[in-house]
A and B are shown apart, each in its own frame.
Chain A
Amino acid sequence: MRYTIHQIKDGEDELILNYRQLNTEVEAALAFMEKNQKKLIGKSDGETVVFSPDEILYVEKVDDRTFAYTPDHIIQLDMSLYAVELMLDDEKYFRCSKSMIVNVSKVARLKSMASNRIDATLVNGEHILISRTYASQFRKLLKGERV
C-alpha cells in the first residue's frame, strides 16, 4: 500500500484512508485508526469534553454517577462503571475496588498497608486505596499474570 505523509502547521491531526477494496492491509490500517480513535465523552463544568482514555488517572462511581479524573478535569461520564471497564478493555485499567478503576500506568508509588490493602499514590499526588479483595489480583497483574 502506498502512503503519503504531510506535516501541517495548523488544524487537527488527520488520517485519511483511500481504498478500493477491503483487504488485510486496509483492515489493519482501519483497526489502527479505530483503536487510536477510542475516545470518551463526558461533561465537565457544563461543557462537553472529548478525551482519550490515556489521560485518565482513575474512574470512580459516586452516588450512581461515574466520574473520570484526569490531571486537569473531573469529567462526569454518561455510562456505568462496568461499561467503562468493558470499553477500556486493557490490563492497565484495573478495577481496584467496587467503585473504582485505576490507570496503573499513572501510579507513581505503592505502599503496602495493614490487612493486605495497598495504597497507590498517583502521578498527581492523590492517594487511592486498593481493597483487600482486589489486592491479590493486583499483585498478580503486576507480576504479569493475567487476571
Chain B
Amino acid sequence: MKKPNLWERYLTKEIGIEFKACLYFYALLFFYCIYRLCVGLSVAEILHMAEMILLTYIMGYIQVYLLWNFDESDHMGKKEIFGVFVCTVLYTAASYAGNWFDRNRYVTIGFAAYVIFLYVCVYFVYKCRRIIDDKILNYDLALFQTRSASEAHADRKDR
C-alpha cells in the first residue's frame, strides 16, 4: 500500500479549501444579491464579488489551519462555537469595511445572523453525509466479514 506523499496530502487539503471557498462565496453572493434587489438594484459590484471570493478563500485557510475545520467537525463544542464566532465577526467586519451593504447596521446584523445560520446548515449537511456514510461502511464491513469467513471455510474444504 502506497502512502500519499506530501504533495498529494497538500493537494487534498487545498481542494477542500477551494470547495469551501466556492460554497461560502455562493452563499454570501446570494445574500448580497437579495439585498441589492431589495434596494432596487439589479446589478452586482464586481469589486464586491472579488472581495467576497478572496475573503472566503482566506477564511477557508483560517478555518482549516487555525480553527479546527469546525464546520466539518464531529460535534459542536466550545472551540467549534468559538470558530463560528470568529469567522462571523471577520465576515461581518469585512462586509462593513467593504461597504457591501452600504454600511446599513440592520442589514449588517442580519448578515451576521445569516453567516451563523450558514455555518449551522453546513455543519448539519456534513453530519447527515457522515450518517449515510456510516450505513455504507457498516454494510461493506458485514460483506467483507462474510466474504472472509466463507473464503476461510472454502479454503479449509479444499484442503
Residues facing A in B133-156 (CB within 8 A) are: 133-134, 137-138, 140-141, 143-145, 147-149
Interchain CB contact (< 8 A) of A112 among B3, B4, B137, B159:
B137
Interface size of B in residues (CB-CB distance below 8 Å): 24
Q: How many A-B residue pairs have CB under 8 A?
A: 59
- The reply to whether B72 and A111 contact each other, CB–CB distance below 8 Å, is no
Residues facing B in A96-147 (CB within 8 A) are: 104-105, 107, 109-115, 118, 133-134, 137, 139, 141-144, 147
User: Does B126 sit at the interface, judged by CB under 8 A?
Assistant: yes
Q: Which residues on the B side are within 8 Å of A137 (C-beta)?
A: 1
- The reply to whether A92 and B74 contact each other, CB–CB distance below 8 Å, is no
Q: Which residues on the B side are within 8 Å of A79 (C-beta)?
A: none
- The reply to whether A113 and B1 contact each other, CB–CB distance below 8 Å, is no
Q: Give the shortest distance, in Å, between B5 (CB) and chain A (any CB).
A: 11
Q: Which residues on the A side are within 8 Å of B134 (C-beta)?
A: 110-112
With A110-B138, A137-B1, A142-B137: A105-B159 Cβ-Cβ less than 8 Å: no
With A104-B145, A105-B148, A110-B134: A139-B140 Cβ-Cβ less than 8 Å: yes
